[in-house]
């Protein structure tokens, strides 16, 4: 169990905290089982009565966990990648020597980025994680990084799939309640933004315009962006002919070339080997 899973599993137990009562500031008057410690009223505020009978309030320890959980929800992270931490990035899932070398490099840059995040944040420096092959761990690594940053620095991250966000933006053309300006603002305001699978979408003038606008505003605000892509930065010019995207990405990110080896298919094969063993073990 990693640190993040530990916190998450604590969310489900409420009365395994017996001797916390020793530290209570007075008699708690409105405990709720909505609180994992059963101390506050569920909102993060503990109501208590002092010995002299006066009423008071104080912050509950559950606030931090609640904030973390909320940021995970609002960060739009897909379920498959929930609660992952650096320990979950396994370099032994890659087969070839070259792939393992690249994976170790990626791991090193990722942990350096997390450690030096304050400096990266001042510089507005993000990462560019790329490989031509699918299933190499690009999305996983990008999400691991934002989880670790959430834990360590209490920042507000946002994860978007570039293809999905573009179709969301297109849909706003026919809607009154949400407008594209609000969506773009939420992307430019996030402390750190993951733009997953840049380059997979079909290029049009409109797409290029939107992507440039997002990158531009984040660059002006010095906000780090993590981009994953199926092409190296040098190829972005061909994909986005106006040339404005490549130059921004070059300035805003540090590149991580991922192994060109699909962990997804390695893991699927291993799973089927296990299944086959089950079927044929008594032969």
How far is it, in rounded angstroms, from Cα 145 to Cα 131?
18
* Edge-first strand listing for the sheet containing 157-161: 157-161, 192-198, 225-229, 126-130, 253-257
Q: Which is nearer to ligand ADP, 15 or 92 (CB)?
A: 92
Minimum CB distance to ligand ADP, residue 152 (Å): 21
Span interacting with ligand ADP, options 5-13, 24-32, 86-94, 164-172, rule CB under 6 A: 86-94
Kindly report the length of the chain: 283
Continuous H helices in 172-204: 180-189
60 makes contact, choosing from Mg ion, ligand ADP, Zn ion, none, with CB < 5 to 8 Å by partner type, with Zn ion
Asked if 80 interacts with ligand ADP (CB under 6 A), we say yes
Continuous H helices in the chain: 3-10, 62-74, 97-115, 117-123, 138-153, 162-171, 180-189, 205-220, 236-239, 244-252, 263-280
Asked if 136 interacts with ligand ADP (CB under 6 A), we say yes
Asked if 139 interacts with ligand ADP (CB under 6 A), we say yes
Asked if 188 interacts with ligand ADP (CB under 6 A), we say no
> The tokens of 78 are what?
């897909």
How far is it, in rounded angstroms, from Cα 129 to Cα 143?
11
Asked if 89 interacts with ligand ADP (CB under 6 A), we say yes
Asked if 264 interacts with ligand ADP (CB under 6 A), we say yes
161 makes contact, choosing from Zn ion, ligand ADP, Mg ion, none, with CB < 5 to 8 Å by partner type, with none
136 makes contact, choosing from Mg ion, ligand ADP, Zn ion, none, with CB < 5 to 8 Å by partner type, with ligand ADP
**Interaction residues for Mg ion, span 107-146 (CB under 5 A):** 138-139
| DSSP label of 82 | T
How far is it, in rounded angstroms, from Cα 236 to Cα 215?
14
Span interacting with ligand ADP, options 33-41, 112-120, 217-225, 262-270, rule CB under 6 A: 262-270
Span interacting with ligand ADP, options 10-18, 35-43, 128-136, 232-240, rule CB under 6 A: 128-136
Asked if 138 interacts with ligand ADP (CB under 6 A), we say yes
* Helix, strand, coil in percent for the chain, rounding step 5: 55, 15, 35
Torsion, Cα of 77, 79, 80, 82 (10° steps): 70
Residues of this chain that interact with ligand ADP (CB under 6 A) are: 80, 88-90, 93, 103, 134-140, 263-264, 267
């Amino acid at each position: 169990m990693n640190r993040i899973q530990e916190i998450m599993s604590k969310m489900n137990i409420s009365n395994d905290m017996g001797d916390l009562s020793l530290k209570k500031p007075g008699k708690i008057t409105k405990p709720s089982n909505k609180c994992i410690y059963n101390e506050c009223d569920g909102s993060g505020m503990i109501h208590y009565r002092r010995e002299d009978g006066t009423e008071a309030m104080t912050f509950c320890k559950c606030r931090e966990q609640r904030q973390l959980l909320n940021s995970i929800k609002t960060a739009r992270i897909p379920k498959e990648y929930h609660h992952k931490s650096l320990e979950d990035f396994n370099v032994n899932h890659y087969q070839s020597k070259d792939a393992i070398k690249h994976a170790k490099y990626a791991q090193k840059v990722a942990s350096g980025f997390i450690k030096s995040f304050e400096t990266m944040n001042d510089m507005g420096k993000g990462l560019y994680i790329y490989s031509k092959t699918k299933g190499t761990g690009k999305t996983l690594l990008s999400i691991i990084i934002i989880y670790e940053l959430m834990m360590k620095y209490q920042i507000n991250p946002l994860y978007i799939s570039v293809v999905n966000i573009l179709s969301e933006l297109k849909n706003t053309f026919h809607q009154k309640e949400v407008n594209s300006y609000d969506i773009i603002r939420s992307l430019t305001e996030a402390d750190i933004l993951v733009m997953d699978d840049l380059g997979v979408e079909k290029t049009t003038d409109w797409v290029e315009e939107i992507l440039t606008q997002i990158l531009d505003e984040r660059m002006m605000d010095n906000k780090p962006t993590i981009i994953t892509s199926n092409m190296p930065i040098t190829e972005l010019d061909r994909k986005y002919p106006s040339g404005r995207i490549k130059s921004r990405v070059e300035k805003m990110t540090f590149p991580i070339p991922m192994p060109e080896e699909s962990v997804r298919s390695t893991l699927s094969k291993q799973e089927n080997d296990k299944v086959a063993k089950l079927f044929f073990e008594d032969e």
